[in-house]
Amino acid sequence: MFVLVFSAILTLVIIQGTTQVDNVMTIESGMEAVRVIICLVMLFLIESTNDQRQIYTPLLFGISALYLGNLLNFLDDIYDLGRPQIALIEDLFETAGLISVLVGVTLWAQHHQNQIKYLLKLSRIDPLTGLLNRRAAIAAIKAYGKEDVQEPGNTSPKEWSFKHEADKPIHCVMILDLDHFKGVNDTLGHDAGDKLLCDISSLLQQQSQNDCIIARWGGEEFLVYHRANSKEECLDLALSLKYKIGHHPFSYDTTPIKVTVSIGVSTYSAEEFYLFEAIKHADTALYQAKAAGRDYVQMAQ
């Protein structure tokens, strides 16, 4: 309503003003009219921020003040009022408007920056467990190894490179799968299953090494990447995780939940490490662990 009223006033002023000056407007008057129209357009555009009052209020006030200042200037040019009081009022409106618009635009930019950060976080984090998702885990391993990682569908993966032989670690990839997880959902409901996945995630983070990368790989599967000094250290970590999960007192409400986990493990030296090949072999070892009766750790052959 505010915009429509001033639009109507502006239209009448332009018609009347151009008639009085014999349809000849100076360049200055034309520019003032353009600025007034731009302010009207901006008033329409900022309606998209109406739900963000801390942004909308200073923008509305600022653009409205700019509108009034430019409108007075426009009227002054058309009617040649030449009064210093009007010029002072014009300057006050325009100055206050610019300051308020600057505040609003700054708040708007901060809001969008926060939204971008939030969306980036959502794109990396599993919303249920808070762990890295599959894509973010691959990126994290890439950053940790400081070398390009094979992307899905690429047939020429790059090796990890290290300057000194002593720097070459054993790369360990584990895929963990909760045994009989479907039974938890079927008997206690999906809320119980979700809580169990969150509890497992917390336990993995507590029991894993500081230099581990942990991700929810999909469904009830988790991936753990670890750089160790030997294959035996990788196996010890996998056995430790299996033991901790198998002996942890999980529960939902007052109902205890017995949980076991099957783990497939693949290990590679630095010069032999291809990430997606390691994942594939760990996945194969996981199926072998399940075929062996579950609650089992299987090293890839």
- The predicted-structure confidence for 191-238, as pLDDT tens digits, reads as follows 999 999 999 999 998 877 667 899 999 999 999 999 888 889 999 999
Taking the CA atoms of the chain, what radius of gyration do you get in angstroms? 33
Question: How many Cβ atoms from other residues are within 10 Å of residue 258's Cβ?
Answer: 12
**Which residue type sits at 208?**
S
Write down how long the chain is: 301
Q: What is the mean pLDDT of residues 22-44?
A: 70
Is the pTM higher than 0.85? no
Per the listing, tokens 């963000």 go with: 52
Q: Is 90 a catalytic residue?
A: no
Distances in Å between the Cα of 234 and the Cα atoms of 167, 238, 298 are: 17, 6, 12
44 confidence band (pLDDT: 50, 70, 90): confident
Q: Which residue has the higher pLDDT, 123 or 148?
A: 123
| Strand stretches in the chain, DSSP E | 170-178, 213-218, 221-228, 250-252, 255-257, 261-269, 297-299
Q: What is the pLDDT of residue 33?
A: 74
Catalytic residue among 220, 233, 272, 277: 220
For residues 36 and 70, what is the distance between their CA atoms, to the nearest angstrom?
6
| Strand stretches in 150-231, DSSP E | 170-178, 213-218, 221-228
pLDDT in tens, 263-299: 999 998 877 778 889 999 999 999 999 999 999 999 9
- 107 in Cβ contact with 55 (< 8 Å): yes
For residues 264 and 29, what is the distance between their CA atoms, to the nearest angstrom?
78
pLDDT in tens, 102-145: 999 999 899 889 988 888 888 899 999 999 999 999 888 877 75
Q: What is the mean pLDDT of residues 53-72?
A: 88
Q: Which residues contact 123 (CB under 8 A, 6 or more apart)?
A: 133, 135, 136
